Amino acid sequence: MKISDSSEPTLAGKQIVLGVTGSIAAYKAVALLRTLLREGAVVRVVMTQSATKFVTPLTFEVLSGHPVSTDVFEAHQEMKHLSLPAQADAIVIAPATANCLAKAALGLGDDLLSTMLLSAECPLIVAPAMDGGMWMHPSVREHVRTLCARGTIVVNPEIGPLASGQVGQGRLAEEGAILEAIQAALAPQRDWQGQRMLVSAGPTQEPIDPVRFISNRSSGKMGYAIAEAAQARGAQVVLVTGPTALPAPRGVEIVSVATAEEMLKALFARLAWSTTVIMAAAVADFRPTHPASQKIKKQGRNAQTLDLERTTDILASLSAQRTTQLMVGFAAETNDLIAHAKDKLKAKGLDLIVANDVTMEGAGFGSDQNAAVLIDRQGGMTELSLMSKRALADAILNRAHALLHTRQSNQAPKPANMGRG
């Protein structure tokens, strides 16, 4: 992976604390340190005692030009557990062991690095590295989900040969991937500046009677993550959301709806305003034909039949009425993921579809993580492994922005021929 295409340092003057924990991959932190320095960052290194068994503190001290902190008791003389995070623009832990992730998730502070995290208010980026099947252990997965939910940026380990000789997911991510995560946290892109995005999220609720309704398992987390990421990257965002328990993303206009019909009307009312539509909501396909005006009583009934009717296909309807908007849809599937997604992409006339397998462990409805395959109408396909929904949101926006840029370039008027007569 290419580190930078620009001669200008991307992290000039940024104060970064680099945490190094006791993994065989600790030696790779030396290369990461050099990269951060080359990008203009001021880096102070904090090592756990276990990390010093793999790489000496002197190595980091010579390269960084600053003393390396390793002992919580010595550091307390200068209150470094408070001063280092207070001065930092970001804390990066690479490699982060399973033990480090557990302490960070549970709020344990038994060394300088873990104690620092309890007072840090800056972005935290962790790049895990571990052997065997540790990365997929339920406890590790739970700790990662907890950290992601708090806003920690997790740069997932890669699949490949491990120190034990096994092949699996556990290798420290490439230094370029870690750098990109740091750059995104400290210097957010504004590539959606001037664009107007209409996003839908959450489930719909179709009433059976005043008490009961038909709905689905959607939490709204993916749509909210997209709205949040788009706003951070400069877009004006309207989020039309079904019922969720999520806080409103900052700077985003919220339109709350309950039923599919209400969502349809809210989206159509804002279609002409938008330049991009991302339909992440899980809209009910059917609704009761005749909702009861009073609560349906169970007395005297051994069974109850509900007559259902189709709801309007919102995404297909929006796509049919659009002018120049980029249209992005989702395909939440349980089998034949790619085939079903391609069929939906074509049937609804979309520019891009995000296909995800809701049966995948650790992904899908209610989870803080997701994996997806992005498929565009030209046949391009990008597979994205399990990551936080916010990271996936940025990946979706990256692909959508590229498609939008291509479309707008093709629609731009050609310069007049100024050749000689």
Pick from 147, 155, 149: which is nearest to 179 by CA?
Answer: 155
Nearest 5 degrees, angle CA 405-CA 409-CA 414? 170
Q: Any idea how long the chain is?
A: 421
- State the catalytic residues: 216
Burial of 267 (0-12, 13-18, 19+ CB in 10 A): buried
* Bridge partner residues of 354 (DSSP): 330, 374
Pick from 151, 172, 171: which is nearest to 161 by CA?
Answer: 171
Phi, psi of 67 (to 5 degrees): -60, 145
Q: H or E stretch including 276? A: strand 276-279
Q: H or E stretch including 251? A: none
CA atoms of 32 and 94, how far apart (whole Å): 8
Q: Give the C-alpha distances (Å, rounded to integers) separating 113 from 11, 94, 221.
A: 22, 12, 31
**Residue 361 DSSP symbol:** T
